[in-house]
Amino acid sequence: MFWGMTHSVAGSRADEPRGTRFDGGTLNFHPRRLDSQPMPPARSFSRLPGFRDFVPGDLALRNHIFDTWRRVSRGYGFREYDGPPLEPLDLYIEKSGPEIVEQLYSFDDKGGRQITLRPEMTPTLARILAGRSRGMPKPIRWFSMPQLFRYERSQRGRLREHFQLNVDIVGDAGVAADAEVLAVAIDAVRGLGLGDDDFVARVNDRRLVAEVLAAAGVDADGHAACLGVIDKAGRAGVAKTRIGLEALGLDESAVATLTELVADGSWEQLGRRFRDVTPVREAMEPLEEHAAILGAMGLGDYLHFDFTVVRGLAYYTGIVFELFDRAGEMRAICGGGRYDRLLELVGGEPLPAVGFGMGDVVLGELLRDMGLVPDATPSCDYHVIWVGPEQRALGLRASHRLRAAGYSVMYSLRTQGVGRQLKEASRNGAARAVIIGPSEAAAGSATVRDLTTGRQEVVPLDALTASVQASSGGSQAEPPGPPSPGGDRT
């Protein structure tokens, strides 16, 4: 029999459906048989491709990443912000062109507006600051951790949704700002336990590449196409990159020079090749300052100049970078650089800006591969046990006091013996058990047992929270936090 429930206030009418009725302050239940109404057939629903469920163990890893991102970003003095998950479609078309629409979850809303789930955060930042930045002190140091969406083919390290750390400095054109955001990116990965043997920051400068292209004889009108070919060189390889450059109609000298830099684009090679070309040498100076700043921070071992890192997005205007695992088995951990004209595109004031985005998908895969996933075993500080139902009220009161003191507390929701309750405490990962039986209840006390050592003591209930604080060193027990930004994996 099913029990249908409806409700009405102050009485009932003859034509009311029989169900829950509120009569003069008393709640009365009236059964109604629903046997004659057939249940619909059961249906199963699969998760959408490219999306994730976060069961507790998976959520523990996500929270570990989030906690580290927040701690490191705040350590550098950045303030957190957020924006809506839906934005006007034109915001992204203005930045990336109409071809981006094919990659978006876009639709017309009920008001006839063309909108989309946000695929990235930088345009949202630009929109927010467009109407606010003029009255704000500079530089603006903000970070966010949005969930982003793109309709792409799912593969390892790339899904149709992900969370991303975005860190930006707006209003400072100096190289120190470029170095600062890269330092945050490096420390955000270091804080998860990875060191310079595990990942590398590959850096370049779009202005330097432009001078190299000019020195090689490539017209300014052909720079964008060349950047597109160079950007794919890491995946395409030297031979296919040469074919791509030849297809652009470049002369043999330019093709040979650029192919040589793709094959060996080291800082030393670049310096030797263009030692007598003043514009190229001058364009190398910002990266030299950049490396000196990061070296002074102790992060120099993470840096590697790479001529092929140009970042395909057209709005980058200066130093650019990408973080990769040293083994080269993953997609980029993060990418970013200077974008000095983006705010103008959405009606803001012309402000220099630099920032990066770091996704959780590649990072999560890397942490799993390296055995750096946090322990997600169930745990709690105390499990309260009452021997009989007569002690239940005392047990609930003790539980509430412990929770108010900041401890995590569990107890059995159904009546069962002490042995079963102790087994449940063990399954829940409890550190201690608080046991209240008839003798403890009569004395106003509880037996507190350490479930690791087996040691126990009798404690007055009124002094329970003070006693457990003393036994845990004066404060509540906390799980170990993530390693500090300077603490590499050992």
Looking at per-residue confidence, does 20 or 457 come out higher? Answer: 457
Instruction: Name, of 21-35, 337-351, 412-426, the range with top average pLDDT.
Output: 412-426
Residue-level pLDDT at 444: 95
Q: Is the pLDDT of residue 28 over 80?
A: no
- What the block records as the tokens of 403 is 């929770």
| pLDDT at 32 (0 to 100) | 53
Mean of all residue pLDDT scores within the chain? 87
- Distance between CA atoms of residues 459 and 443, nearest Å: 10
Report, at the CATH architecture level, how domain 380-471 is classified: 3-Layer(aba) Sandwich (3.40)
pLDDT at 60: 95
pLDDT for the residue 19: 45
The size of the chain, in residues, is: 490
**Mean pLDDT throughout 206-225?**
92
- pLDDT for residue 8 is more than 60: no
Task: Examine the pLDDT at 333 and tell me if it is beyond 50.
Answer: yes
- Of these ranges, 233-242, 333-342, 426-435, the one predicted with the greatest mean pLDDT is 426-435
User: Over the stretch 283-320, which tens digit does the pLDDT of each residue have?
Assistant: 999 999 999 999 999 999 999 999 999 987 677 899 99
Mark residue 328 as left, alpha or beta (left: phi above 0; alpha: psi -120 to 50; beta: remaining): left
Backbone angles phi, psi at 258, to 5 degrees: -70, -35
- On the question of pLDDT at 9 being above 50, the answer is no
> Whole-angstrom Cα distance, residue 413 to residue 174?
61
In which band, very low, low, confident or very high, does the pLDDT at 473 lie, cut at 50, 70 and 90?
low
For 59-87, the pLDDT digits (tens) are 999 999 999 999 999 999 999 999 999 99
Residue 11 buriedness (CB in 10 A; 0-12 / 13-18 / 19+) = exposed
CA distance 303 to 388: 65
Pairwise pLDDT comparison (468 vs 266), residue with the higher score? 266
Q: Can you give the pLDDT at residue 130?
A: 87
3-state SS, residue 272: helix
Please give the share of the chain, as a percent, with pLDDT higher than 70.
87
Is residue 22 very low, low, confident or very high in pLDDT (cuts 50, 70, 90)?
Answer: very low
Q: Is the confidence at residue 479, as pLDDT, over 50?
A: no
pLDDT of residue 265: 80
Spell out a b/e string for 352-370, using b for 16 or more CB atoms within 10 Å of the CB, else e: bbbbbbbbbbbbbbbbeee
The pLDDT tens digits of the residues spanning 132-190 come to 888 899 999 999 999 999 998 888 888 999 999 999 999 999 999 999 999 999 999 99
Average pLDDT over residues 342-368: 89
C-alpha torsion sign, points 260, 265, 269, 272: positive
Instruction: Quote the DSSP letter at residue 400.
Output: H
Phi then psi for 162, rounded to 5 degrees?
A: -160, 165
Smallest CA-to-CA distance from 199 within 186, 212, 210 is with: 186
Phi and psi of 182, rounded to 5°? -70, -35
The gap from C-alpha 184 to its chain's centroid, in whole angstroms, comes to: 14
Check residue 467 and give its pLDDT: 66
- The pLDDT value recorded for residue 95 is 72
254-287 b/e (C-beta count within 10 Å ≥ 16 → b) = bbebbbbbbbebebeebeebbeeeeebeebbebb
Q: To the nearest whole percent, how much of the chain has pLDDT over 90? A: 67
Stretch(es) of the chain classified as CATH 3.30.930.10: 56-369
In CATH terms, the superfamily for domain 56-369 is Bira Bifunctional Protein; Domain 2 (3.30.930.10)
Q: Give me the half-sphere count of Cα atoms (radius 13 Å) on the Cβ side of residue 441.
A: 16
222 pLDDT more than 80? yes
Give the per-residue pLDDT at 468: 66
CA distance 380 to 401: 15
What is the mean predicted confidence (pLDDT) over 443-456?
A: 95
pLDDT band for position 18 (cuts 50, 70, 90): very low
Q: How confident is the model at residue 349 (pLDDT cuts 50, 70, 90)?
A: confident
What are the start-end ranges of the H helices in 16-130?
56-75, 89-96, 122-130
Neighbours of 29 (CB within 10 A): 10
What are the CA-CA distances from residue 297 to residues 73, 93, 151, 186, 302 (Å)? 16, 39, 39, 11, 11
pLDDT in tens, 104-114: 999 999 999 99
Cβ atoms within 10 Å of 44's Cβ, excluding its own: 4
What are the residue ranges of CATH 3.40.50.800 in the chain?
380-471
Q: How many other C-beta atoms lie within 10 A of the C-beta of residue 310?
A: 25
Angstrom distance (rounded) from CA 147 to CA 399: 37
